[in-house]
Chain A
């Protein structure tokens, strides 16, 4: 089955700096890669996703890149703000199953 590894597990950045989270997956059949943000006490919510036929996608301060050959994908947050502080999960979908990484706790220091 699919195995998703996510790094780092914690990330502390100064407000205004960039944050990068990296994930690798094992199943070459995976074709959909969403990223979820979970604020304290709240449900995970989709922030951006990318499909296997696309190498990069951007939405305002958030961007995701995908390298299918190397089986890794990354989340980039630029100009971080305090409201970006949360746990971020990457995921990979093969067939019907969405497998998640262990999460990255991002803290933005004011």
Chain B
């Protein structure tokens, strides 16, 4: 079956702009989590959605937001972009509970 798909793969934005990233989970997976990956910082948890509800949120400013649709697809939005937002943004989907999280290939965001 198809894996987790993230679009777009690459983005270049200027400071102050806003951006929306998309994640399509594996069919049947209702949980979608978002992570920010930067060199030396590992995978920083942004938020997790399940059945269109945000169940958990990491320690990121309010400029980072997300949502999930009825088909489990999720979007992440970052407003008023800063240079420090440059990173690889990964989403992961899983069935609920203690099951494997499958990652997408990520969206590489560069803020100039």
Tell me if A98 counts as interface (CB < 8 A to partner B).
Answer: yes
Q: At the interface with chain A, which of B12-20, B43-51, B64-72, B73-81?
A: B43-51
Main secondary structure on A side of the interface with B? strand
Chain A min CB distance to B82 (Å): 22
Contact A44 B98 (CB under 8 A): no
Contact status of A43 and B48, CB under 8 A, knowing A89-B43, A97-B56? no
Total number of B residues with any Cβ neighbor in A under 8 Å = 24
Q: Are B45 and A102 in contact (CB under 8 A)?
A: no
9-residue interface stretch from A14-22, A45-53, A76-84: A45-53
| A46, B100: Cβ atoms closer than 8 Å | yes
Tally of contact residues, A, Cβ under 8 A: 23
B101 touches A46 (CB 8 A): yes
Sample 28 A-B pairs with CB under 8 A, ordered by A number.
A32-B98, A34-B100, A44-B103, A46-B100, A46-B102, A89-B42, A89-B43, A93-B98, A95-B55, A95-B56, A96-B31, A96-B50, A96-B55, A96-B56, A97-B45, A97-B48, A97-B56, A97-B58, A98-B33, A98-B45, A98-B101, A100-B35, A100-B43, A100-B44, A100-B45, A102-B40, A102-B42, A103-B42
Chain A interface residues (CB < 8 Å from chain B): 6, 31-32, 34, 36, 42-46, 49, 51, 89, 93, 95-103
